[in-house]
Structure 1
Amino acid sequence: MSDENDLSGDDERDDATFSMFAEEEAAPGSGGPSYQVLARKYRPKLFSDLIGQEAMVRTMRNAFELNRIAHAFMLTGVRGVGKTTTARLLARAFNYEGEDHPGPSLKLDPPGEHCKAIMESRHPDVLELDAASRTGVADMRDLLDGVRYSPQSARYKVYIIDEVHMLSTASFNALLKTLEEPPPHVKFIFATTEIRKVPVTVLSRCQRFDLKRLDTGELAAHLGKIAGREGAKISEEGITLIARAAEGSVRDGLSILDQAVVQGLDGGEISGAAVRDMLGLGDRLRLLDAFEYAVTGKASEAVGEITDQIQIGADPLILMKDLLEIAADVATVQAMGDNYVLPGPSDWTTRTRQIADSVTPAQAQRNWQILLSGYRDTQSAPEADVALRMVILRLVTSASLPSPEDAARLISQGGGGSSDNGASGRGRGGKEDPNVVPVGGSPGARLSKFEDVLDLLEKEREPVLWGEAKAYIRPSVFADGTISCDLKDGAPVDLLRRLTDFLEIATGHEWDVSTKRGETPGETISEREDRLKRERIDAVKSDTDVAAAINAIPGLTILDVRGSDTLEQPPVEDNVVPLRVANQRKG
């Protein structure tokens, strides 16, 4: 086996200090170089520069060494992880021609004959297309007409189609035959952020590579190296905030870093506070304060902290995401203990572990569910800051409920009062609070049927959820804590999630509300009421006198049957009409 594709030398180099540094382009009409944004300046030039994608590079290296190179590749991943860059690197590898490399090679240093033109998107045999702007079948047929012609100068004709999921169904169908039996001189490289929208018939004809999102630590280290190269002094906290805001996207991280670098015009260090202010982030330690206040029932302090954060320019949705991250950290610390390494300074780690010790695992899960539901509400609310404030108050209210564990003990004891084992409900740190009761009733209250859920919704003044539950949910199995059901067509996608959130807060214990396959579907309450109404009307119609009245009066319609199951007229003073009819004849 040839070792011409060995990348061991590339792998050992500093991925932020060698090949990734392009020459700055000269500004038109000037003798000096123009400024290049960091996302372009540090675009990878070698496969070893693709940070975080080692698995993909290893697989491709083996394929090239064994000369088992596929004719079509599918690159998928979130924005900014390197899909288009990888496609161009592959095009270079297919067509690499160096002095000591007679065939395709992943070792692209020094650059080959075609490398510069390919990376600048101007090589005649490497065609880059954006499927978002050329979705029609006519465009695809024009493209495929050129497939049968040999490349002009390179070894392979390479087609790079970005956002391939945007192609129409007809375009995909036109592409299938060529993908099934491609000419030997053609390679296809597809890139997409929506892999689920690509037909399986196309996927099955491609080698798929999932480019992973970078974790915060890995991206922060990469950005720190680049900041050093640029002569920028950014604090460790600032770099971490940038990496977290990038959400795993290298391109987004470089764009934010570009923005942050100009904050340090005086040559001093760019602090975490400056980065937070630039990004509209809240002070994370103060946000941790707000979370702790909320989960321990201190409404005024919690709302005050959140209000202060918004007033200094923090985005409510970003605050919600940070609160979700805190809730997840608390639950994970409880599960993993010291094995879970928290991102951030030591005081952040200490505070998070203290909060984790003050709540039960079930309470931690309930806090997460409340925040997750609140995040969706905040996204759709007319005023995001108001919605965030209400979510915080929902956390505060939840803190006054007994923990799910205590509620379960109450139920098992038949709803008795406080006892030595803590069934009275607990506040922060497990302290007993005899005044805590579930919102929906007494501490031992149970829901025995689905109608009890509707009654609770009505009592707690939840008219929208009450109406949706009545109209769309078909319960098949019901027990206190469990609802197995089917959903009628047209049901809101988040109906079961919102009902679960309500029940857990209202009853003080966990609920499993879900759809189950293989069970006999029931009826919605509305469907059952309509059926019973029809049965009553059909039963009344069988009465001889009623049938005679219907036949004698054209247009007579029975609207409803109320009162006694018999046809006997009740006393007038009872004000009950057993049969209500209407004559719909006009005039």
Structure 2
Amino acid sequence: MMPDSNRPEFAERDPDMPDDALGLGLELPPVAQPTAPAAPMPSAPAAAPANTGGAAYRVLARKYRPQTFAELIGQDAMVQTLGNAIKRDRLAHAFLMTGVRGVGKTSTARLIAKALNCIGTDGQGGPTIDPCGTCEPCVAIAEGRHIDVIEMDAASHTGVDDVREIIEAVRYSAVSARYKIYIIDEVHMLSKNAFNALLKTLEEPPGHVKFLFATTEVNKVPITVLSRCQRFDLKRISTAKLADHFADIAAKEHVEAEVEALTLVAQAAEGSVRDGLSILDQAIAHADMEGDGRVTAAQVRDMLGLSDRGAIRRLFGLILAGDAQGMLAEARSQYNLGVEPLAMFAGLLSEVHRLTLAKVGAPRDGALDADAAALVEEHADRLSFPVLHRLWQLLLKGQEEVARASVPLDAADMALLRVIHAATLPDPGELAKMIGQGSFAAPPASAATGPSAPQSATVQTLMPSDFHALLDRLAREGFVGLEMTLRDVVRLVEYAPPVLAYQLAGPVAPGFVAELRDALAKVTGTRWDVEERAGEAAPSLLEQEQAKIDAEKRIILESPLVKAAFAAFPEAELLDSDAHDMKWSKSA
């Protein structure tokens, strides 16, 4: 009967079968394994370079898999904990490694297996955080052929029968190692029944057995299993550490690489060492095609498609300009070049995210060249936070619609047109206030949709219609002291957003102009040209209010009734609180 190929077997096997095919826990003496590949056929080259086909090329992710804890980057806290546990002989019976792809979960499990079973170069050593790497257990574990270290992929062995075989096998002691170790990768893929069958053994395994679990989705592992394991959350590796690591590997590979190129590779890896090494492998091959073998930032940008972000920025600029026709043409052009509408919206969302981070002062994105970074800074200065948040919400909604649409390009066109016409509208509460106060002035229809609309058209729709509306906006945004200064001592020469020219009717605080520019940029989303200018100027609002009060008093004092009252009572005076009553008496 043929054995079931879907799970480990404990039946008799072909003696020529390698040890790692013996299954989980088969208690047979280890079959001698070749420690080197068979000699090549006489016709094969004796020592062909790797790139000539004489030997199989090993990708960087496999070639530089960490063989010691010192080579495991970015997981210092875990290494220290394991080291202390080994020194104090406080080893848990089950470990769970979790984290995103490529941060070293399976590599850590293998290193723990080596650390627990290492016997040292003299054959007398015990468990150590620094396994020698040369003793028979270390070598066999590194080559994946140790009979007492069993690796199982839970993605292909999900059933309860596979777990039953583990339960049966753990009763037998290790054949040649100190501990029998089970490494179960992607453990979250086990079925519910498989987890339940494992619980009792996992809680009270024999002293010679250790379980090492690895998973990318720890939330799918039952809490009953988590509570029986010592858990290590492996962190994403920082961009700086990845870039340094890739620089070391490039040097070992005798490849010259620009620092910026390695930084781009590290950023694209998103914290995953394996992903980064795969990208670096591709970058080296791409550089070789160029002829000089040097990995440059420009080549990496081109390889990763980062140069296409320039097209996304052009599309974003057309949206900001309100150029509907230009935007539709650019979107169609990108579609014809193979850019899917969903990818287009993902790029636009990424651009809004980048602008928002730039506006709050986050460090510059290293993936941007100087021109792109300058454009990001310009857009971040012009766009306010409300506009950026509105753009984000509209683009996110558009992305959802495109994902569900039967004709994605049509849905993308409609969603982008909605962004142009709705992104800069105030929220309902602000709109109601502006209408109630008479401070909302809608731009002409052509101002936001015409092909020749200026870059700041979308911002202009949010500009206060007059100086009074500007002061109200400043007060609502918390700049009360500045609003009072403008109301009391500023005589307006010109108000043409984003231009404000004035004269002063009294003293102001030092740094008044800089403070005013910053406040106007925050509340309107664009930089203003603020200057003190000679020429004809209107009275300040305080002066206008005082002049109005004085005029009302003169009218009241000129009335016959008030004159008669003053004639009868020469020492009487007109109070402000009585002025309205007297006006009323006159009108009555």
Q: Tell me how far 1:248 sits from its aligned partner.
A: 2.7
The amino acid across from 2:126 in the alignment is: G
How far apart are the structure 2 equivalents of 1:334 and 1:65?
Answer: 50
Q: Secondary structure at the match of 2:310?
A: helix
Give the equivalent residue in structure 2 for 1:83: 105
How far apart are the structure 2 equivalents of 1:36 and 1:323?
Answer: 38
1:278–1:433 distance in 2 versus 1, CA, 3 Å: closer
Q: Tell me how far 1:299 sits from its aligned partner.
A: 3.0
Q: Tell me how far 1:262 sits from its aligned partner.
A: 2.0
Give the equivalent residue in structure 1 for 2:382: 358
1:372–1:436 distance in 2 versus 1, CA, 3 Å: farther
Deviations 1:371-405 (A, max 9, x none): 33334444444455555554443432334x3244x
How far apart are the structure 2 equivalents of 1:82 and 1:273?
Answer: 30
Q: Tell me how far 1:50 sits from its aligned partner.
A: 1.8
Give the equivalent residue in structure 1 for 2:142: 119
Q: Tell me how far 1:86 sits from its aligned partner.
A: 1.1
The amino acid across from 1:95 in the alignment is: N
Larger displacement relative to structure 2 (150-159 or 243-252)? 243-252
1:392–1:105 distance in 2 versus 1, CA, 3 Å: farther
Q: 1:55 aligns with which of 55, 72, 77?
A: 77
Tell me whether 1:70 sits opposite 2:92 in the alignment. Answer: yes
How far apart are the structure 1 equivalents of 2:392 and 2:340?
Answer: 20
Q: Secondary structure at the match of 1:114?
A: helix
RMSD: 3.5
How far apart are the structure 2 equivalents of 1:175 and 1:326?
Answer: 48
Q: How does 1:302-341 map to 2 (within 5 A)?
A: 302-314=327-339, 316-335=341-360, 337=361, 339-341=362-364
Deviations 1:446-495 (A, max 9, x none): xxxxxxxxxxxxxxxxxxxxxxxxxxxxxxxxxxxxxxxxxxxxxxxxxx
Q: 1:412 aligns with which of 427, 430, 433?
A: 433
Q: Which runs of 5+ in 2 are unaligned?
A: 1-34, 48-54, 449-454, 466-588
1:314–1:142 distance in 2 versus 1, CA, 3 Å: same
Q: How does 1:137-148 map to 2 (within 5 A)?
A: 137-148=160-171
Tell me whether 1:199 sits opposite 2:196 in the alignment. Answer: no
Q: 1:44 aligns with which of 41, 66, 77?
A: 66
1:379–1:48 distance in 2 versus 1, CA, 3 Å: farther
Q: Tell me how far 1:38 sits from its aligned partner.
A: 1.3
Q: Secondary structure at the match of 1:283?
A: helix
The amino acid across from 1:43 in the alignment is: R
How far apart are the structure 1 equivalents of 2:168 and 2:199?
Answer: 14
1:257–1:181 distance in 2 versus 1, CA, 3 Å: same
Give the equivalent residue in structure 2 for 1:158: 181
- Say how many residue pairs are matched: 409
Instruction: Give me the TM-score of the superposition, normalised by structure 2.
Output: 0.62
Tell me whether 1:428 sits opposite 2:484 in the alignment. Answer: no
Q: Tell me how far 1:92 sits from its aligned partner.
A: 0.6
The amino acid across from 1:428 in the alignment is: S
Q: Tell me how far 1:98 sits from its aligned partner.
A: 0.7
How far apart are the structure 2 equivalents of 1:188 and 1:211?
Answer: 17
Give the equivalent residue in structure 2 for 1:292: 317
Q: Which runs of 5+ in 1 are unaligned?
A: 1-22, 438-587
Deviations 1:396-451 (A, max 9, x none): 2334x3244xx5333235545435999x99993885438999xxxxxxxxxxxxxx
How far apart are the structure 2 equivalents of 1:93 and 1:175?
Answer: 25
Higher RCO structure, 1 or 2 (CA under 8 Å, sep 6+) = 2
Larger displacement relative to structure 2 (233-242 or 129-138)? 233-242
Q: Secondary structure at the match of 1:43?
A: coil
Q: 2:308 aligns with which of 280, 283, 302?
A: 283
Q: Tell me how far 1:158 sits from its aligned partner.
A: 0.2
Higher alpha-carbon Rg: 2
How far apart are the structure 1 equivalents of 2:442 and 2:347?
Answer: 35
Contact 2:320-2:458 at 8 Å conserved across structures: no
Contact 2:97-2:233 at 8 Å conserved across structures: yes
Contact 1:131-1:167 at 8 Å conserved across structures: yes
The amino acid across from 1:182 in the alignment is: P
The amino acid across from 2:176 in the alignment is: S
How far apart are the structure 1 equivalents of 2:397 and 2:257?
Answer: 35
Q: How does 1:434-513 map to 2 (within 5 A)?
A: none
1:217–1:297 distance in 2 versus 1, CA, 3 Å: farther
The amino acid across from 1:333 in the alignment is: A
Contact 1:280-1:314 at 8 Å conserved across structures: no
